[in-house]
Amino acid sequence: MGFRLKTEISFREDIPERIAAIRDKKVWIVCDGFLNGNPLLEKYRKALSIANRVEVYSDIVPDPPLTKVIAGIRVFKQVRPDVILAIGGGSAIDTAKLINYFAHGLGYNRETRFIAMPTTSGTGSEVTAFAVVTDTETNTKIPVNDAVIAPDEAWLDEDFVMNCPKKVTGASGMDALTHALEAMVARGANHFTDGIADKAACNVFHFLEECYGDAPSREARIRVHTGSCIAGIAFQNAGLGISHALSHQLGSEFHLAHGLANAILLPEVIKYNSKDAAAAAKYAHFARIMFFAPRECTDAEGAEALVREVRRLAANVGCGQKLHELGIEQEKYIAAIPTIIKKAQKDFTYPGNPIEPEVEDLVRILLAIY
């Protein structure tokens, strides 16, 4: 599979220079609704307006439905931007990616430069070639996966996450951790992805709780923000697994936040994947370097220690619930299990899992998280 990164990444201190290099262009800022009237958005709009024509579009909702993408393509056709600056959580960046992708396919633009600026520390969408859209008629999350979707640039300005609400911080941080730990053992993993998956998971384990607390430091926010981006690069190259295959279905069937669904599934999936000796060895290696388990522990003990730590972290960032505690009715849930499994088996993340599960294995995991 090799290792590839199309996206050029800039940090907060590099961004003014990046902005200065954009001149005489039509810049279309596609941003999350929460940014309406936000001083940070204004700062970027003004800076870009000095040498460019800038328009702002913010008709975005979480877990973007097809209808919002289609509406956005119509606006794109009028604006015909040279540069798209997508600012927001994974939902906003994915919406902008899809608008750009389909508008390009329809021949509405020349070369549009696509820049993504995340306001959550979780999805890694700023560096991935995926975007997820929801078909609200069939309650299905549809991934669009094409190398050209990956942003040309990612601008990481932690100012956007400094005041991110606790609920969003906790869930998106657990999404980043799931990306890292699934990429660590995924079928496409290699020495490059192993190294960065370790780094991304380490950043989240060390700093997510502080970010979830009342007065997180800038350093903690930077660590989780960059960790999330690194995890995106890891999974883009290595693949994901059944936490994501199942969480996409839980999200669309029961409207659970993506990161929360992953947080609930991840410990059970690590337990299950530890049956694979190579996966258990990788989990245990990570548990040892994080001091979750002693150096002399067996791989099984190391993997168990990792499960324990994932549960502890999830609980401490508001993501430690079972599904029944989230108001999902038992009867409805049990009835939905066959559909969840059928859709999960077709999910693009499913083949990345280190073991191909039997249906009974998936049922066991789904019952354990209820």
| Residue 34 touching ligand NAD (CB under 6 A) | yes
Structure tokens at 36: 């309406």
- In whole angstroms, the minimum distance from the beta carbon of 277 to ligand NAD comes to 29
Question: How many chain residues bind ligand NAD (CB under 6 A)?
Answer: 30
DSSP state of 231: H
Q: In sequence order, what DSSP letters do the residues of 78-122 get, joined into one string?
A: HH--SEEEEEESHHHHHHHHHHHHHHHHTT--S--EEEEEESSSS
Cβ nearer to ligand NAD, comparing 90 with 320? 90
d(CA 184, CA 172): 18
Instruction: Select from 72, 81, 90, 151 the one that contacts ligand NAD (CB under 6 A).
Output: 90
Cβ nearer to ligand NAD, comparing 175 with 304? 175
d(CA 60, CA 65): 9
| Residue 203 touching ligand NAD (CB under 6 A) | no
Cβ nearer to ligand NAD, comparing 122 with 227? 122
Instruction: Select from 41, 85, 117, 131 the one that contacts ligand NAD (CB under 6 A).
Output: 131
d(CA 248, CA 262): 9
Structure tokens at 278: 């190579």
| Residue 252 touching ligand NAD (CB under 6 A) | no
Instruction: Select from 7, 91, 193, 252 the one that contacts ligand NAD (CB under 6 A).
Output: 91
| Residue 178 touching ligand NAD (CB under 6 A) | no
Cβ nearer to Fe ion, comparing 126 with 175? 175
Enumerate the β-bridge partners of residue 65. 134
Length of the chain: 370
- Residue number with the shortest CB distance to ligand NAD? 89
Cβ–Cβ contacts within 10 Å for residue 33, how many? Answer: 13
Within 256-295, which residues bind ligand NAD (CB under 6 A)?
A: 258-259
Which of ligand NAD, Fe ion, none lies near 119, with the C-beta cut-off 5 to 8 A by kind?
ligand NAD
For residues 115 and 151, is the Cβ–Cβ distance under 8 A? yes
Going by their DSSP bridges, the two strands 153-156 and 53-57 should be labelled as unpaired
| Residue 156 touching ligand NAD (CB under 6 A) | no
Which of Fe ion, ligand NAD, none lies near 161, with the C-beta cut-off 5 to 8 A by kind?
ligand NAD
Which of Fe ion, ligand NAD, none lies near 155, with the C-beta cut-off 5 to 8 A by kind?
none
d(CA 286, CA 198): 7
Enumerate the β-bridge partners of residue 26. 53
Instruction: Select from 157, 175, 209, 299 the one that contacts ligand NAD (CB under 6 A).
Output: 175
Environment class of residue 265 by beta-carbon count within 10 Å: exposed (0-12), middle (13-18) or buried (19+)? buried
Write out the residues near Fe ion by the rule CB under 5 A: 175
d(CA 166, CA 209): 10
| Residue 172 touching ligand NAD (CB under 6 A) | yes
d(CA 265, CA 268): 6
- In whole angstroms, the minimum distance from the beta carbon of 123 to Fe ion comes to 6
Instruction: Select from 1, 20, 33, 332 the one that contacts ligand NAD (CB under 6 A).
Output: 33
d(CA 255, CA 258): 9
| Residue 7 touching ligand NAD (CB under 6 A) | no
Instruction: Select from 76, 114, 130, 205 the one that contacts ligand NAD (CB under 6 A).
Output: 130
Please report, for residues 30, 84, 294, the alpha-carbon distance to residue 149 in angstroms, rounded to integers and kept in the order given: 15, 13, 43
| Residue 173 touching ligand NAD (CB under 6 A) | no
Instruction: Select from 15, 29, 79, 161 the one that contacts ligand NAD (CB under 6 A).
Output: 161
Helix 166-185, helix 218-238: angle, nearest 10: 40
Which of Fe ion, ligand NAD, none lies near 89, with the C-beta cut-off 5 to 8 A by kind?
ligand NAD
Q: Which residues lie near ligand NAD (CB under 6 A)? A: 32-34, 62-63, 88-92, 94, 119-120, 122-125, 128, 130-132, 160-161, 164-165, 168, 172, 175, 258-259
